[in-house]
Structure 1
Amino acid sequence: MSMDENSFPALTDGESTAYRGPQPNPPSDVSDPTIRGQAWDIIESVLDDATPQSEWAREQLRSRMESHPGNPERALLEHLMATRSITDEQSDDSEPNLPSPDLPTPDEDYGNTVLFTRRSRRRIEAILGDRMLLTAFQPIHELAGRNVVGVEALTRFVSDDGASADHWFNEAAAVGLGTDLEFAALQAALVAAEQLPPHVYVALNLSPATCLDPRLRAFVEQSQLAVDRIVVELTERLAEYEYDPVVEALAPLRSRGLRVAVDGAGAGFGSMSQVTHLSPDIIKLDRSLIAGIDHAAGQKTLGAAMVEFARQVGADLVAEGIETQAELTAVMDLGMAYGQGYLLGRPSVQPLDWAAWRTSAHREASTSGSTGPAN
């Protein structure tokens, strides 16, 4: 039975790391004495979020507070500005965004800082309360059989500023709501996936913090999807010290059929031994390896090695980011059985598009000149 989309299971553990230092009197240039209290409330909500996913935000905020002792307003403002800077650097250039509203500068009134932060929280809380997000699915093809066998779930936010998903998730983490927003996106994806054909699996990008959160099991168990149709994608953001806890946390669900995919192999992960440690069911090759693989000898050699590696560990191999006919031909000639990318199908919020994607896959594979995996 699906979970009520207006509620979240409560966290059952997690130690507070809130800043407990002295709270000095408001500075003389702040006309409203409640501004400082509001700033402290926001700061404590960020530091109270004890999930590993938000550790960068906590460390960043602590650093700003050390730089501005007794001045939480300035520390909070610089924290938000740094967060937006990080988000801008991480934005994916493949999908254009409209500019987001500018942050206040350090020279502006402290009251504007708190107002901006409160507005950020209200924006995230509105997303959580009204579920103003959509799930787009991008097809994953079995290249030889010319069928769509799975999809990757991608979050799209309903907003008037065109901000990317990275902006939203980073902004949520900066104000202490990162984990809640990720669970809202997860729930939206699971509900949308109920409309998929029953043979199609759903790949969900989850952070280590979400994998370790006890709410994950409840979300999966209360979903209408069979567990064996759910694939958890782990990315290069997985730190080495998180491998054992994540493997242990996912073990009960994996015993019931849930699968694990390693995303970004060939780029984000430092070694194949780390990939092996996760015992993945699926290995997804990074776009940086696939781009130009048709004419780059080094990439072909690495691609062939990854095909053999996947065979040795018993994992399916998916070539991500196939954008040209030449790349499709090359990956099929190397024996890669599965593919994903704009050439085969762009992300869509319309489930009816999957029929067209199957037609496209048949056409592209038929004209590639390859007979499929060379195993």
Structure 2
Amino acid sequence: MGVDFGAAGVAMTRLRAALARAIAPVTPHDDLTHWRLSAFLETADEVPFETTADGTITYAGPRSVDLLGYEPADVVGQSMAVVLAPRELDRARRLLSDSLVAGSGWTKERYTYVTRDGQERELYSSALLHVGPDGEPIGFTGTLRAIDADVAALAAWQRTHARVTAAIEQQALHAVYQPIVSVTSGEVVGVEALARFTAEPVQAPDRWFREAATVGLGTALELLAVEKALDGAQHLPPGLYVSVNVSPQTLLSGRLPRLLDESLWPTSRLVLEITEHVSVDDYAELLPFVDEVRARGARVAVDDAGAGYASFRHILRLRPDYIKLDRTLVDGLDVDPAKRALAGAFVTFGHEVGATVVAEGIETEQELRAAAALGIQSAQGYHLGRPAPVDQLAGSLPRPSPPVPVPARPPQDRAAT
């Protein structure tokens, strides 16, 4: 990363070339040479460096700490590989080799570097060939330069957009299914479809969807995930419902009904979990789209109930058919009276409005029994079954177990609001 060598910088280019020629008879370790380079070039955003022909750092300006967090002593004597992102190494080696063959340097090559604390940062690199008294190349004299924040943000946006676009075009995802089990009978009543990505880079599904949303491709990626989930569901055991995640933004796009109409999966066995990773500002605008999918037979669930105020508002406005309790509320349900009280309030509310309450993240038999004691109707979690591809799911579905005893609830509790 380096210096702007546009038309306005021609004089600067010539001056730097003259400087390089002036210091050519001096070895790269000469203190006077480095003082002259630093005084001439160094700022907070632009730091000089020298390397040998094979990329070993022989000098780094004192302000290298501003760009990458390294003191000069940390990197001098080390290969450039110490500060470059691993994926950049082959390209950097080719640049050095090509520059030596051509007898020249390079201008504003953009590379990703790794700061001392492990963060990636893009910088411009520019350099002139550094020759010895005999005219033979001995290395490079150049600069690293910070990229303008707006330029860097645009470049990051473009990379993310290209990465998500490629994943969509290549359909580089598939669905896995986690069983949803009746708490009282132990029978599997449905599954939640979850996306798994095969595209690079390897990262959590939530991050793929979050990145897609930031570059305007969130709806396209969600619709692809729903399509894959419904296609795979054709091979599920009969009688199960499928729950899929959709954001309010995808509902507002108006594109979901057409996908449901074209799918072979019956909407009467479909549950739409409406997420709220982005706040809903206008429920009056959203509700007609919710009604449209309900008119096709689909049911609606609200996820992450109990995780915050927004989930309560979501429940009150959407009047869901299913209320899915957040894992943070279910964890330790058997030993935490406050969590049991809040979960019990959701159960009471569900009875009043005709909604089924589902406990997510059940990981122990004790949590399952506590859920049953509260009157929670369904549950999912690793204790009951891990997400699996559809062809592996049938063999991994939990067998019906003896009913979990459910204590009778006092009449005043059932009437409570």
TM-score (norm: length of structure 1)? 0.66
Of residues 264-273 and 139-148 in structure 1, the stretch that sits farther from structure 2 once superposed is 264-273
2:345 aligned with 1:327 = no
* Contact 2:304–2:311 (8 Å) recurs in 1: no
By how many angstroms is 1:373 displaced?
7.6
Matching residue of 2:345 = 305
* Contact 1:236–1:268 (8 Å) recurs in 2: no
Task: Report the AA paired with residue 186 of structure 1.
Answer: V
CA distance in 2, matches of 1:274, 1:173: 20
By how many angstroms is 1:349 displaced?
1.8
* Deviations 1:131-153, CA, capped at 9 Å, x for gaps: 01111111111122221111111
* Contact 2:235–2:390 (8 Å) recurs in 1: no
2:277 aligned with 1:259 = no
Distance 1:116 1:236, change over 3 A: closer
Distance 1:296 1:242, change over 3 A: same
CA distance in 2, matches of 1:272, 1:119: 37
By how many angstroms is 1:358 displaced?
2.5
Q: Secondary structure, in 3 states, of the residue corresponding to 2:208? A: helix
* Deviations 1:98-123, CA, capped at 9 Å, x for gaps: xx994536955578876655443332
2:166 aligned with 1:132 = no
CA distance in 1, matches of 2:383, 2:164: 34
- Pairing partner for 1:225 from 231, 254, 265: 265
CA distance in 2, matches of 1:354, 1:229: 18
Matching residue of 2:404 = 370
2:122 aligned with 1:104 = yes
2:236 aligned with 1:192 = no
Of residues 145-154 and 166-175 in structure 1, the stretch that sits farther from structure 2 once superposed is 166-175
**Aligned-residue identity in percent:** 38
Distance 1:252 1:108, change over 3 A: same
* Deviations 1:286-339, CA, capped at 9 Å, x for gaps: 111111010111111112221111000100110111111211111111111100
* Deviations 1:264-284, CA, capped at 9 Å, x for gaps: 111234474651321211111
Aligned residues: 276
Distance 1:108 1:188, change over 3 A: farther
Distance 1:130 1:101, change over 3 A: farther
- State which structure, 1 or 2, has the greater radius of gyration over its C-alpha atoms: 2
* Contact 1:283–1:318 (8 Å) recurs in 2: yes
Matching residue of 2:331 = 291
* Deviations 1:183-234, CA, capped at 9 Å, x for gaps: 2222111211222223111111111110111211100111101111111112
CA distance in 2, matches of 1:178, 1:278: 22
CA distance in 2, matches of 1:29, 1:272: 54
The structure with the largest strand share of the pair is 2
Matching residue of 1:172 = 212
Distance 1:108 1:169, change over 3 A: farther
Matching residue of 1:79 = none
* Contact 1:139–1:354 (8 Å) recurs in 2: no
* Contact 1:117–1:175 (8 Å) recurs in 2: yes
* Contact 1:101–1:161 (8 Å) recurs in 2: no
Distance 1:31 1:194, change over 3 A: farther
- Pairing partner for 2:316 from 276, 291, 298: 276
* Contact 1:104–1:113 (8 Å) recurs in 2: no
By how many angstroms is 1:255 displaced?
2.1
* Contact 1:334–1:374 (8 Å) recurs in 2: no
* Contact 1:143–1:338 (8 Å) recurs in 2: yes
Distance 1:184 1:274, change over 3 A: closer
Q: Which has the higher contact order (CA 8 A, sep 6+)?
A: 1
* Contact 1:236–1:269 (8 Å) recurs in 2: no
CA distance in 1, matches of 2:166, 2:180: 32
Pairing 1:350-365 to 2, within 5 Å after superposition: 350-359=390-399, 362=400, 365=401
